[in-house]
Amino acid sequence: MLKLCYGALTVATLAAAIGPASAQQPTTPPAAAAAPDSGQSAAPAGAFSYFVNLKNGDTVTSPFKVIFGLSPNMGVAPSGVEKPNVGHHHLLIDKTLSAEEITQPITVDEQHVHFGKGQTETTVTLPPGKHTLQLMLGDWTHIPFKPPVQSEVITVTVKEAGAKSATNAMMEEKKEHHHHHHHRHDHK
């Protein structure tokens, strides 16, 4: 239910954002604002993505949930949807993009996770230790926007999943406990 309302809200915000922009520049449609040679789509000034549920310095237990946020002047759509100010999220794990990489389609591997269906959250499994995370919005062809629509790079510390072993210990205990009830009584 919440998702539905949010979607409607995004559409309304988008319409509001696109409206005044086209009024200001009657000569150039927003889509053609990007330099034609770069292949990058233009992003409105001040657009950014952010982590909704994580902040720099957080300690998490793997697997952990990551929720992607986006400033109201941008929208999320699956890859292949060519619309101004709309893109899909990419999660960069222990990786940042160089100035050259930022002008090209984002690689696909374990460190560059694509959310091409327009997802706005994921569950990440990482080994214990410190890891950096960054969100980068890609346009319909997976190329970052110009200027880049990205989150700050945050560092999270993944701790050993202690919860699992505790659950297993309880299960073991229950089994032992259960075992004691099977004494044989011969009633004659």
Instruction: Quickly tell me which residue has 């214990």 as its tokens.
Output: 128
Residue with the bigger pLDDT between 37 and 159: it is 159
Residue 41, pLDDT > 60, answer: yes
Residue 15, pLDDT > 90, answer: no
Least confident segment among 25-39, 64-78, 159-173: 25-39
Answer positive or negative: Cα dihedral of 6, 11, 15, 18.
positive
Phi and psi torsions of 18, nearest 5° = -75, -40
Task: Kindly indicate the confidence band of residue 39, based on its pLDDT and cuts at 50, 70 and 90.
Answer: confident
Task: Kindly indicate the confidence band of residue 187, based on its pLDDT and cuts at 50, 70 and 90.
Answer: low
Task: Work out the average pLDDT over 162-183.
Answer: 50
Question: CB neighbours of 114 closer than 8 A, spacing ≥ 6?
Answer: 79, 88, 90, 106, 108, 138, 142
CA-CA distances (angstroms) from residue 68 to 7, 29, 39, 88?
Answer: 14, 28, 25, 10
| pLDDT > 90 in the chain, percent | 64
> What pLDDT was estimated at residue 36?
44
Task: Work out the average pLDDT over 102-117.
Answer: 96
